[in-house]
Amino acid sequence: MFQQMQYFISIVKNHSFTQAAVECNISQSAISQQMKELESRLGVKLLERKGRSFEVTQAGQYFYTHSQDILEDVNQLVDNTVKIVKEEQIELKVGYLRNFGTTEFLQTVSKFSEEFPQVKIKIKSGNHEELYDYLRNGQVDLNFSDQRRALSNKYVNEFLTDSKFMLEISRATFSNDRTQMDISELADIPCVLIADNDQQVTDEEYYREILGVRSDFVVVKSYDEAQILVASNQGYLIVNDRTQKQLNSDIVKTVDLMNGKQQMIQKYYAYWKADNSGYYIESFAELLKNSFA
């Protein structure tokens, strides 16, 4: 049936049995017979003949559109199958979120290398926006990053884990019995943002639009600088239950970040382009997912 689908796509694309026959290197009578057999097999008319011309039926238009998707998947399946048995070294490029911590990611790299020694792994790190640029530009095949925008069907989005958003605040200023706080309570205190110059604008937009920050921002380069500002009540810092480990709990106080009565959550995914999915990418993603199980 795959061959008949290719013939049908060529006929519709060229709007001609004659040109399709030439393109597919088959006689016109043979391609006409193949179309009759395809319609008989499906039990529906794909083409409505009108003398020497034809019109594509509604069913034919549906079959034409989805046949192309299916054949593209089949071609990718063949390519990926061939890659598995090729002797030359295959390269897999992966990226990870710089400030998350590397434990699970490095475990995955180690396990993947054991299972697929023929695959050379190239690793890049970055912040959220840098990783998306790497993925869009083909500099990496797969990213491990946080979710900052709506999930797109242009990518495969494999959920890995989530973390609670938390606030780091001054122990000297805030009551020790507080275990949670709404971001709206801190509108008059600066929000400390750890960011490089090239990511400051995008991070500020994310904090405003997604996390609901209304404070002014104070930008620093490191957790040490941020911790000094928080401890002296010159600002608060948004972290999660992963990144908070980089701070000294004796110096600053940690409380859950709330939106109304709801705990705010940060989700993490493995992302890769839907049109670049393959055996090794999917295998790496599965191992990464298992490392968080």
Tens-place pLDDT, residues 70-115: 878 777 777 777 666 554 568 999 999 887 777 899 999 999 999 9
**For 152-275, where are the alpha helices, taking DSSP H only?**
200-209, 223-231
pTM over 0.85: no
Alpha carbon distance 215, 250 (integer Å): 25
**Please, where in the chain does CATH 3.40.190.10 lie?**
90-161+267-292, 164-265
Give the per-residue pLDDT at 253.
86
Tens-place pLDDT, residues 262-286: 899 999 999 999 988 888 999 999 9
CB 228 within 8 A of CB 248: no
Is CATH 3.30.300.130 correct for 90-161+267-292?
no
Give the per-residue pLDDT at 170.
86
- In sequence order, the 6+-apart residues with CB closer than 8 A to the CB of 257 are 164, 165, 166, 167, 180, 181, 182, 183, 211, 238, 263, 264
**Please, where in the chain does CATH 1.10.10.10 lie?**
2-85
Alpha carbon distance 163, 268 (integer Å): 8
Taking Cα atoms as reference points, which of 197, 100, 200 lies closest to residue 147?
100
What CATH class is the domain 164-265?
A: alpha beta
For 240-257, what is the mean pLDDT?
81
Q: Give domain 2-85's CATH number out of 1.10.150.130, 1.10.8.80, 3.40.50.300, 1.10.10.10.
A: 1.10.10.10
